[in-house]
Structure 1
Amino acid sequence: MASKDRHPEKSTRSTVSRRGYLRLGAVATVGVGTLAAVDEYTDTGSAGAVSTADPSPADSEIGGGAAYSNDVTESDATTTVSTGSGLKTALQNAGAGDVVWVDSGATIDMTGESNIEIPSGVTLASGRGIDGSQGALLHVDSGMNGESLFRSSYETGVRVTGIQLRGPFPGGYFDPPEDPDEPGYTEKESAGIFVYNTESSRTVEIDNCHLWGWTSGAVRLGANANGGTSCPTGTHVHHCSIHTNAMEHLGYGVDLLNGDQHLIEYCYFDLNRHCIDGFGNPENGYEARYNIVDDRTVSHAFDMHNWATNHGDRDVAGSTISIHHNTFRYTNEVEGEPDEYRDGGPQEYIKIREAPDDRCDIDNNWFQYKEKPPAGTTGGDQYAYTQTGVSSWTNMYESNNAFGPEEPAADIGAPRTGNGGGGGGTPDFEYNDDVTAVDASVDSHDKRSGLQLSVTNNFDSKLNITDVTIEPANAAIDELSDHSMEEGKWLSELYVDADIQDSAADINNGLSLPGSIDLRNDGHDDSDRRWAVFSPGSTGELYLYQFENDGSAVDMVGETVALTIDYYLDDGNSTTGSKTLSLSP
């Protein structure tokens, strides 16, 4: 299948695994169905004919809406507006700390407007999900000559939350008749929000928004360096419904032109050309987690371009990419009618178009209708992920993914339902996927032989950690031993820093691995023999020290440890549970 790429101003990474090699041998057998073409997605959309219905799941925090809890409310507003002119004036006059609130019942035609500046420190908000509201609807009904509706250039501390933004082509897949190099093409381009600044930290937040119908991208972030401007912007895009941004050559849900401090999480994606794409320069990367990619696509979902194809100075596909705990549902692309590029053929979920400068990790995802690439290949569009421009996997690492329609464990893929902490429609004890190997400097070696991670109690009652089981994947790691007679962080084999009650387990003569720790009976006679207790909604840290092989410290970078945490809830029902984490620092 031939495929056009993005136009030149915008516009494919593998030793396989240093984390045990990208294990490509065993291939699951799944049925690969055909995605039937849907008429409304083969025609150019018109704003007046398209529903404002939000396709994101109503019973999940993924995609935002009613289940989202971090709302800005009208009572927080500095200024309330209900018209386009009022909105522009309010933003022009706003300063850091102000909240410009758009009336939740307003529908505002913004056609003809572009590049409305959101100043530093300003929040633009409406009431999506509050008391049944969809939030204010701001719509544009014709092309924008390559501009964006909202822009925030060189600004920081900006937040856009609770708003609906509908672009000029909301009806489905749109393949403009013009070639990208022809004059009529640019006028079809449009973007919802374009933010770029030189802050690499996550100083921009876009959350709980419904974004669709944009041709360049619903959200565009950063500025590339090949024109002399380098803006490695950092952003947090989360709990948004981002769909039907499906223009050929462009069509991005989240378009990352520069910066590697981008976190995209708890978003619902459907019918984008790429849900997330990266420009490819060596400062470009992202972390994507807890997202759902639904069953319609125009091309592969998550992407990183080759910098050289975008006029960069070398073949590289970005910097650091982490794709974990996402669920991917489509099989084939939509079929254009007539169209020589979109023929309904298979599309991979993830495509990395050369070697990342650092690495790309693909972990704990649920690939519902794609197989694992077979050994000796670098994937292809019929498989879950692929790497192009290389002869073998280079700086690509994979672990603990699920392939096929059978539902995996709750900690693989995006949260099924509920508050985003776990599957099954109930709250959960959540691992925050932040394990770090640490040289605790309490011994004389330079090995990173300790592990540190955080967990969050998403239940509505107090949670007590009662037992912990530790099982390294590497059998040579045979002991956890702190060599200290004291108790506490890095002084015990296990230390849990919880908000209500901390706990330390100091094992006589160390713990043989694999092994389990009973926090109330660790074999030590000191007084710190108690469960760790977390209040509802609280986050705490776990510290494990130190991992050894025959008495010698082991550097844990690149190792994998299965950590099973047993817990008891103070909910009046004596509820117990268990959570197994795969730790791969």
Structure 2
Amino acid sequence: MRIDGPSWRPEMADGYRLLEQADVIDWPGYEPISRDGTTLSERDDMRSEVFSRGLNARVDGTVRNIEARGFTHAALSFGSRNHTPDVTVSRSMLHNCAVPGYGYGINLYNGTVTSELNYYDATRHAITGFGHPDCGYTCRGDLFGPNAMLTPIDMHNLDENGGEDGDLTAGKFLNTYECTFLARERFATPGWYSRSGCPAIGIRGHPAPGAPGYDTRDCQFVHFEEGDALDQRNVSFPTGWRRSGNEFGGLENWSEGKGAPVNWTGTSPAPSVDRTSGVEKRRASAQAGARCLGAVEAAMRAD
């Protein structure tokens, strides 16, 4: 599989079930779904009416130079219980996929993904992993924008995804190298999430037995402390999680060579998102992504 250059979106992306009560939330996104469902099948039934997905692939391949936006489930989805593809996604913009309960830039059921020099913004999770023992991903040089519904980087455990009770296996690896995270708070959505602190990386268990585990290195976080940026649940932190060379505390005076390459150019990556219109917020986010990717290209040419 090789995909290079298209721009994907559902036919009704901008007007698709937009919230009418935009004045009571921070990000007028997609229609929230009731929390009444308690089982996986009940939740799937509730979300089926707003389901859209850009790509579902179970083979090795590359995806680059695309923009994918407005998908309720996921812009890109890879793997299955019995399929473990190896995929690289690079130099792309994945944004505004933020329906409660779904909402992924990349959904990795199984296999491995390498994410390089991408821009993510306004998702529930920019990248999520299912938690299978063969499930793992590496982010290198990615920029995660200032708008998030939940943690941009996420790895589930098998217990919460229909596996054996108490199985806290959460993938085989999750690496983040030279990435920048700009969301310190998550935006609110009625009936689901209140505005509150938003960790950058969330891992809900421990690595599979004998697996490499998790590595976070030379990243930049707008969060003030490591404990605000990194969140490991159900086990003690940092189980199987290595960290080194990371910087915390804001957007000023970050070191060269840390975080996404866009910061090397002096270009501010953060868009202005103080507009009241949801459409204007989404447009500002996309425009900022285009500027960031242009700066990344310039930095790479300079090298």
The structure in which a higher percent of residues are helix is 2
**Matched residue, 1:543:** none
User: Alpha carbons of 1:273 and 1:370: their partners in 2 closer, same or farther (altered >3 Å)?
Assistant: farther
The whole-number CA distance in structure 2 between the counterparts of 1:269 and 1:309 is 25
The whole-number CA distance in structure 1 between the counterparts of 2:301 and 2:73 is 40
Q: Is the 8 A contact 1:192 1:211 kept in 2?
A: yes
Structure 1 residue ranges (4+ consecutive) displaced by more than 6 angstroms after TM superposition:
none
Match of 1:335 among 188, 210, 213: 188
Match of 1:192 among 40, 54, 62: 54
**Matched residue, 1:416:** 262
Q: Is the 8 A contact 2:109 2:129 kept in 1?
A: yes
Instruction: Note the C-alpha offset of 1:353.
Output: 0.4
- Which amino acid counterpart does residue 299 of structure 1 have in structure 2? L
The whole-number CA distance in structure 2 between the counterparts of 1:459 and 1:243 is 25
SS in 2 for 1:322: strand
For normalisation by structure 2, the TM-score amounts to 0.76
**Matched residue, 2:172:** 319
Instruction: Note the C-alpha offset of 1:166.
Output: 1.2
The whole-number CA distance in structure 1 between the counterparts of 2:66 and 2:301 is 26
The whole-number CA distance in structure 1 between the counterparts of 2:193 and 2:131 is 24
**Matched residue, 1:372:** 226
Instruction: Note the C-alpha offset of 1:316.
Output: 0.6
**Matched residue, 2:94:** 242
User: Alpha carbons of 1:278 and 1:185: their partners in 2 closer, same or farther (altered >3 Å)?
Assistant: same
The whole-number CA distance in structure 2 between the counterparts of 1:309 and 1:389 is 11
- Which amino acid counterpart does residue 292 of structure 1 have in structure 2? L
Match of 1:296 among 143, 147, 153: 147
Instruction: Note the C-alpha offset of 1:315.
Output: 1.7
The whole-number CA distance in structure 1 between the counterparts of 2:262 and 2:47 is 40
Match of 2:6 among 163, 166, 176: 163
Pairwise CA RMSD:
2.1
Q: Deviations over 1:60-100 (max 9, x none)?
A: xxxxxxxxxxxxxxxxxxxxxxxxxxxxxxxxxxxxxxxxx
The whole-number CA distance in structure 1 between the counterparts of 2:301 and 2:89 is 25
The whole-number CA distance in structure 2 between the counterparts of 1:368 and 1:425 is 16
**Matched residue, 1:142:** none
The whole-number CA distance in structure 2 between the counterparts of 1:348 and 1:335 is 15
**Matched residue, 1:546:** none
Q: Is the 8 A contact 1:169 1:215 kept in 2?
A: no
Q: Is the 8 A contact 2:206 2:240 kept in 1?
A: yes
The whole-number CA distance in structure 2 between the counterparts of 1:178 and 1:344 is 18
Q: Is the 8 A contact 1:348 1:370 kept in 2?
A: no
Q: Is the 8 A contact 2:214 2:240 kept in 1?
A: yes
Q: Deviations over 1:180-231 (max 9, x none)?
A: 516453121110011113xxxxx311111111000110000111x2xxxx10
Instruction: Note the C-alpha offset of 1:301.
Output: 0.5
User: Alpha carbons of 1:459 and 1:159: their partners in 2 closer, same or farther (altered >3 Å)?
Assistant: closer
User: Alpha carbons of 1:222 and 1:329: their partners in 2 closer, same or farther (altered >3 Å)?
Assistant: same
**Matched residue, 1:494:** none
In the TM superposition, what are the counterparts of 1:422-501 in structure 2 within 5 Å? 423-424=264-265
Q: Deviations over 1:538-585 (max 9, x none)?
A: xxxxxxxxxxxxxxxxxxxxxxxxxxxxxxxxxxxxxxxxxxxxxxxx
Q: Is the 8 A contact 1:176 1:185 kept in 2?
A: no
The whole-number CA distance in structure 2 between the counterparts of 1:459 and 1:188 is 41
**Matched residue, 1:174:** 30
The whole-number CA distance in structure 2 between the counterparts of 1:392 and 1:209 is 36
User: Alpha carbons of 1:398 and 1:177: their partners in 2 closer, same or farther (altered >3 Å)?
Assistant: closer
Instruction: Note the C-alpha offset of 1:425.
Output: 6.0
Q: Larger radius of gyration, structure 1 or 2?
A: 1
**Where do 5+ consecutive residues of structure 1 fail to align?**
1-157, 198-202, 374-382, 418-422, 427-456, 461-536, 538-585
**Matched residue, 2:84:** 232
Instruction: Note the C-alpha offset of 1:161.
Output: 1.5
Match of 1:269 among 120, 123, 126: 120
**Matched residue, 1:397:** 242
Q: Is the 8 A contact 2:32 2:192 kept in 1?
A: no
**Matched residue, 2:23:** none
Q: Deviations over 1:152-181 (max 9, x none)?
A: xxxxxx112211111344465224344551
SS in 2 for 1:187: helix
**Matched residue, 1:310:** 161
Q: Is the 8 A contact 1:410 1:416 kept in 2?
A: no
Q: Is the 8 A contact 2:141 2:259 kept in 1?
A: yes
Q: Greater relative contact order (Cα 8 A, min sep 6): structure 1 or 2?
A: 2
The whole-number CA distance in structure 1 between the counterparts of 2:220 and 2:63 is 25
The whole-number CA distance in structure 2 between the counterparts of 1:404 and 1:254 is 27
The whole-number CA distance in structure 1 between the counterparts of 2:96 and 2:103 is 8
SS in 2 for 1:235: strand
SS in 2 for 1:321: strand
SS in 2 for 1:194: strand
The whole-number CA distance in structure 1 between the counterparts of 2:199 and 2:223 is 10
Q: Is the 8 A contact 1:269 1:293 kept in 2?
A: yes
**Matched residue, 1:213:** 70
Match of 1:386 among 225, 231, 239: 231
Aligned residue pairs total 247
User: Alpha carbons of 1:398 and 1:184: their partners in 2 closer, same or farther (altered >3 Å)?
Assistant: closer
The whole-number CA distance in structure 1 between the counterparts of 2:67 and 2:193 is 26
Q: Is the 8 A contact 2:32 2:191 kept in 1?
A: no
User: Alpha carbons of 1:410 and 1:188: their partners in 2 closer, same or farther (altered >3 Å)?
Assistant: same
